[in-house]
Structure 1
Amino acid sequence: MNRRRHTTAAITVICALAVLASPALTLQASAAPLPPPPPKKSLEQVRAEIDALYRQAAVATDAYNLAEEKTDEQSSEIVKLARMIVEGREKIDDLKAKAGAAARAQYRNGGLPDGAQLVLTDDPQIFLDTAGRLQAGAKATTDLLGEMTRTQAELGTYAKDAGDNWTKLEAHRVKQAQAKKEINEKIAAAKKLESELAAEERERLRRLEEQEQYRAQTTWLDTGILDELTASATPEGRKAVAFATAQIGKPYVWGAEGPASYDCSGLTQSAWSAAGRNIPRTSQEQWRLLPRVAMKDMRPGDLIVYFKDASHIGMYIGKGAMVHAPRPGRNVTIAGAGSMEILGVVRPG
């Protein structure tokens, strides 16, 4: 019993000495400062981040829309080629049937070819008739074989084209999936930033956005641009403007072309389609492919392309205003034509 007490006491002393031997380490561990909290972002910084995320989502939306358009084109082409292959096979079957009929006719003549029958006849009239049939038959056989060869070659071409289009279709589907993932990530990140703000801060954020647009619009108008914008809309332009403004209040949805919702280029494309003019699907393609006009020559119905990457587009409606589908969380609305960074103007018709 005494030995056990001595052993316990010895262990206690050793532990105490071990602790006392490293006081600096103990104090350092207990006194280690916590990392400073990250600096709180200003509301202006948050606004800039949200704008950047929505802009990135807009670029990805353009990529998605273009891939979707190409996917539809490739799908239509594959269907068309499939029909051509079916028709080609039916034609081959028909040609084979004709060749079989010719062979059966020869069999009914005793298995002798027309040339042998011609040699065996003594009647001049039969000779002449047979010679004519022989010449016509030879030409028909040659034509039949030639048509079969051409049809088989066409079938091979159709099959190769269908395979190429299928490869392109799959590539566009991959691009669509990648763009869709990026769009959802950017929008989710922007919404998260906004959701972390208090209600009062969200209202201030909205006012900051409006103030920035007002400043940009005022700067644009101060150039005297309205004095130069005197051109009136064409009948088609008026139809396009009427369609676009009739969509005011409908929500922005990326990839949407109406009738319940739109993205920016879906609105402009649908408006000009209603006016009888087909234009490209995306804002970047509309900027790249449609005729460009000088700002001073702009008229209602023309399309204003925004930002250096052509990631946004709206329709000029006159008096310094435009109609557009702004971004997720917003509805189709009228805004100042100069309320964002203008890249240029294009004219659908």
Structure 2
Amino acid sequence: MSGRLLRWVCTGAVVGVLITTMPGASAVPAPAPDPGERPVSQLLTDLQRLYRSAEEASETYHATGEKLKKQRAEAAKLDRKLAKVRASVHDSRGEAARFARQQYQGTTGLSPYLRLLLARDPQRALDQGHVVRRAAAGRAATVRRLVGGEKKADDLAGEAKKALDTGAALAARQKKQRNEVDGRLKEVEELLSSLTPDQLAAVRQAEETDTADSERRFEASGALSGSPARRAPSRQGDRALDYAVRQIGRPYEWGAEGPERFDCSGLTQQAWAHAGREIPRTSQEQWAELRRIPLTRLRPGDLIVYFPGATHVAMYLGDGKVVQAPRPGARVKVSPIGANPVLGAVRPDPGGRAMRGYTPPRLPAGATAGSDLGYGSAQAPGATDSR
């Protein structure tokens, strides 16, 4: 990570609106000032607001996607139940129809009872009575199954339709949210493309200066005091970290879960999935559902969650460093743990025992290099727009 601008990255934050229409104001927005007329600090603030706005929409998009996935699974489950109940109703109707035909043809009714009364052999009469009672009970059970099955089928059909309607509404909402993210990221691109090379260099310099200041403040806070630089991970944590390190250099793309591109929580989720541990998709869900641990107990593979709204996440590497997917236009890289405001840490495998004889992964050349400015910054050869 590199600096204040990067702090507004990944999977959402409290939205900062660049232009707000106040009550009673004209419906026509005032023209934005020429970038050349704004100081570097203002340009940085504008970019921060745009990124925060885009990433809030991105977090909402992710959350809706998770709800849609669960809703579709529920709808499929209801469909399977409904199919079984309808098959049972079909069988009960067939059996009821057979009884009706027998009644019509005179093979049931009073004749078995009359034969029972006229029987000379009492034991045989008792046996026939048992058969008759069983037959009557069977017909009653068939009728009960038919009536109960039809009611259950009607109820399940109603639930299935409701689940389908909910899924359709979620899909429409997710499409709208995707368009919203695309529109906000386009605003970021337009602002960055309007800056001169000197302005971009000045913003980058301001960002790097602020990153260094932030890291010094984090170190001075003593948040990691008592945490050994080389504490060993669990075996699963080691595999997750190895996966994350192997993704260094791959581009960020919001909503991406690999294998070629990632967003911040997509990287951490996939890393742990490759280690055999399923964790939630979004940074907010990871913060809410995984075991929280103090920073003094950090070990490689743990997840560091950032910002008050838990809107960014990275994987702890050790030695005060993290592996993370920063934001659009940047690439997966190694950054200082304190370059963003740390909310806390979570451990996906709290029951995992620390390894013995742990060897940290070897980092590729340039793992910490590269600007996090995002769109408009210089990119590695062969790189394309990360959207």
* TM-score range normalised by the length of the shorter chain: 0.7 to 0.9
Is 1:261 matched with 2:261?
Answer: yes
Instruction: Choose from 153, 177, 180 the match for 2:151.
Output: 153
Among 183, 191, 215, the residue aligned to 1:217: 215
User: What is the match of residue 203 of structure 1?
Assistant: 201
Distance between the aligned counterparts of 2:147 and 2:279, measured in 1? 42
Residue in 1 that maps onto 2:181 = 183
Matches within 5 A, 1:295-314: 295-314=295-314
Q: Which moved more, 1:36-45 or 1:131-140?
A: 36-45
Which deviates more, 188-197 or 80-89? Answer: 80-89
- Aligned 8 A contact 2:255 2:263 in 1: yes
1:314 to partner: Cα distance: 0.7
1:185-213 alpha-carbon deviations (Å, 9 max, x no partner): 22111111111111232233223222222
Structure 1 residue 338: Cα displacement:
0.5
The aligned residue for residue 320 of structure 1 is 320
Of 53, 57, 71 in structure 2, the residue corresponding to residue 56 of structure 1 is 53
1:85 Cα offset (Å)? 1.5
Question: Would the alpha carbon gap of residues 336 and 167 (structure 1) be closer, same or farther in structure 2, given more than 3 Å must change?
Answer: same
Displacement after TM superposition at 1:38 (Å): 9.1
Tell me which amino acid in the other structure corresponds to 2:323. Answer: V
Query: Measured at CA, do residues 237 and 38 of structure 1 come closer, stay the same or move farther in structure 2, by a change above 3 Å?
Result: closer
CA distance in structure 2 between the aligned counterparts of 1:228 and 1:265, rounded to whole angstroms: 28
Determine which structure has the larger helix proportion and give its number.
1
Q: 1:287, CA displacement in angstroms?
A: 1.3
Shift of 1:268: 0.9
Do 2:35 and 2:43's aligned partners in 1 also have CA atoms closer than 8 Å? Answer: no
The 5 A counterparts of 1:17-56 are 40-56=37-53
> Which shifted more, 212-221 or 304-313?
212-221
Query: SS at 2:339's partner residue?
Result: coil
Aligned to 1:270: 270
- RMSD of Structure 2 on Structure 1 (CA): 2.2
1:283-332 deviation line (CA, Å, top 9, x unaligned): 11111222211111121111111111211111111011001111111111
Q: Which amino acid aligns with 1:343?
A: L
Structure 1 unpaired stretches of 5+: 1-35
Tell me the TM-score normalized by structure 2.
0.75
Q: Is 1:162 paired with 2:160? A: yes
Partner letter of residue 173 of structure 2? K
Aligned partner of 1:279 in structure 2 is 279
Distance across 2 between alignment mates of 1:259 and 1:308: 29
Displacement of 1:227: 4.3
SS at match of 1:118: helix
Q: Output the CA distance in 2 between the equivalents of 1:59 and 1:129.
A: 77
* Alignment match, 1:194: 192
Structure number with bigger Rg:
1
Residue 142 of structure 1: CA displacement? 2.3
Tell me if the contact between 1:233 and 1:300 (Cα under 8 Å) persists in the aligned partners: yes
Larger relative contact order (Cα-Cα within 8 Å, sequence gap ≥ 6):
2
Letter in 2 for 1:52: R
For 2:34 and 2:123, how far apart are their aligned partners in 1?
114
Q: Is the 8 A contact 1:250 1:331 kept in 2?
A: yes
Match of 1:290 in 2: 290
1:99 partner SS: helix
- Do the aligned partners of residues 117 and 56 (structure 1) sit closer, same or farther apart at CA in structure 2, a change above 3 Å counting? farther
Structure 2 residue ranges without an equivalent (≥5)? 1-32, 350-387
The answer to whether the 8 Å contact 1:226/1:319 transfers is no
CA distance in 1, matches of 2:215, 2:179: 34
Rounded Cα–Cα distance in structure 2 between residues aligned with 1:193 and 1:52: 12
5 Å matches for 1:5-16? Answer: none
Asked if 1:102 corresponds to 2:113, the answer is: no
1:100: Cα distance to partner? 2.4
Cα deviation code 1:117-146 (max 9, x no counterpart): 423444434422220111111221222222
Q: Distance in 2 between matches of 1:318 and 1:138?
A: 76
- Cα offset, 1:39, TM superposition: 8.1
Q: 1:115 aligns with which of 109, 113, 116?
A: 113
Name the CA distance, whole Å, in 1 between partners of 2:34 and 2:262.
42
Quick check: 1:342 aligned with 2:337? no
Amino acid at match of 1:338: G
Distance, in Å, in 2 between the alignment partners of 1:106 and 1:131 is 18
Task: Tell me the SS of whatever aligns to 2:155.
Answer: helix
Amino acid at match of 1:70: K
Look up the equivalent residue of 2:200 and give its one-letter code. Answer: R
**How far apart, CA to CA, are the structure 2 residues paired with 1:37 and 1:115?**
101
**1:58 and 1:157 mapped to 2: Cα distance?**
41
- SS where residue 338 of structure 1 aligns? helix
Q: 1:303 to 1:38 in 2, by over 3 A?
A: closer
Amino acid corresponding to residue 85 of structure 2 in structure 1 = G
Q: Which of residues 68, 72, 84 is equivalent to 2:81?
A: 84
1:295 and 1:258 map into 2 onto residues whose CA distance is 28
Partner of 1:128: 126
Distance in 2 (CA, whole Å) between partners of 1:200 and 1:68 is 40
Give the TM-score normalised by the residue count of structure 1. Answer: 0.83
